[in-house]
Amino acid sequence: MTTAGLTDGRTVGQPDRGRRPPVWPSDHSTPIIDVRAYNFWYGGTQALFDLTFTIPRRAVTALIGPSGCGKSTFLRSINRLNELIPRTRHTGDILLEGVSVFSSGTDPVTLRREVGMVFQQPNPFPKTIFDNVAYGPRLNGLAAERDMPERVEVALRRAALWDEVKDRLRTPGTSLSGGQQQRLCIARALANEPEVLLMDEPCSALDPAATQRIEELLVELKQSYSIVIVTHNMQQASRVSDFTGFFYLGCLIEFGDTKQVFTRPGDERTEAYITGRFG
């Protein structure tokens, strides 16, 4: 661990507020998600240790680290999907827009409408493409049925899928290719107009061409959404993300500007992982 890395890098526990040079849009500086001393257990096994960091608004934040180090667990803590697993518990807090996602006033169902999620395997519903996208808005009463076609089109366009499916909206979503299915799942999440988009290794089941489409998409989407992406692909993290967090054995070892984490990591474990010496 070098002192230079420590001075330059945002290390564990320090909020990034005010540390960004002014070249960024001002809303970068107010974080969308604020994690405070968050611990998480599966039964008797602690999976996350004392996470404290903030996730910037309207940016892509990549979480990297070896398998089983808690990246997905953390991601699923944000929309409280972990709660559905029996015998899990947590301490500490995660704030979305300044409000605790665990507070009694936060309904997990409402929370999940504001925090969209895209999973590792494309998981479209066995329904038509149109219905897949319209599902969220219908449930949440976001649009009248007559406005639905427009809303579906907007979501599909944002997910860069519209041109490929506009003539077959009534065919099953499962008939699409893997990459298309994943973009359909992104469109489905976007149709809910979430604040945050969580992506759990969205490209791991896709071929390079489809991966590239999704990556290009992420860069566009960050204009309007705050995106947190878990990835095992270091190149992907360095290509698409603005900020990177390195998880190791349930701890956040390092969090900072992607360029800086990848070129001048502040922790030797980060460096070892990035350069492929373990993982």
Partner 1 sequence: MSARRVRRRLVSALMTGVVGALSLLAVLALVLILGHLAVKGATSLDWSFFTRNPVPVGESGGGVANAIVGTAIIVGLASLIGLPVGIGAGLYLAEFGSGRLGWIVRFVADVLNGTPSIVVGIFAWTWLVKPMGHFSALAGSVALAVLMVPMLARTTEEMVRLVPHSLREAALALGYPRWRTSLRIVARTALAGIVTGCLVGVARIAGETAPLLFTALGNLNFTTDLMQPMQALSLQIYQYATGPFEEWHRLAWAAAIVLMGLVLLLGVAARWAIRQRHGAAR
* 141 vs 137: CA distance, rounded Å: 6
Does residue 149 sit in helix, strand or coil?
helix
- Distance (Å, whole) CA 50 – CA 47: 10
Six-digit token pair at 212? 């590239």
From 6-14, 98-106, 134-142, 227-235, span contacting partner 1 (CB under 8 A):
134-142
> Residues 58, 188, 213, 269: which binds partner 1 (CB under 8 A)?
188
Question: Does 189 help bind partner 1 (rule: CB under 8 A)?
Answer: yes
Using the rule CB under 8 A, is 119 a contact of partner 1? yes
User: Tokens standing for 223?
Assistant: 């204009």
Min dist CB 107 to partner 1, Å, is 9
| Piece of 3-11, 94-102, 183-191, 211-219 that binds partner 1 (CB under 8 A) | 183-191
Give the helix/strand (H/E) hosting 247: strand 243-248
Nearer to partner 1, 171 or 263 (CB): 171
129-to-16, 125, 176, 242 alpha-carbon distances in Å = 40, 9, 9, 32
Task: Give the residue, chosen from 71, 90, 112, 269, that forms a contact with partner 1 under the rule CB under 8 A.
Answer: 112
Dihedral, 71, 74, 78, 81 alpha carbons, nearest 10: 100
Asked if 140 is part of the footprint of partner 1 (rule: CB under 8 A), the reply reads yes
**Nearest-angstrom CA–CA distance, 102 and 124:** 28
Of 102 and 125, nearer to partner 1 (C-beta) is 125
Rounded-to-integer distance, Cα 33 and Cα 36, Å: 10
135 binds partner 1 (CB under 8 A): yes
Order of strands, edge to edge, in the sheet holding 115-118? 115-118, 196-200, 226-230, 60-64, 243-248, 251-257
Size of the site for partner 1 (CB under 8 A): 28
For the bound state, the minimum distance from the C-beta of residue 94 to partner 1, rounded and expressed in Å, comes to 16
Nearer to partner 1, 49 or 125 (CB): 125
Min separation Cβ 122 and partner 1, Å: 9
Q: Given the rule CB under 8 A, which residues bind partner 1?
A: 79, 81, 84, 86, 109-113, 116-117, 119, 121, 123-126, 135-136, 139-140, 172, 174-175, 185, 188-189, 192
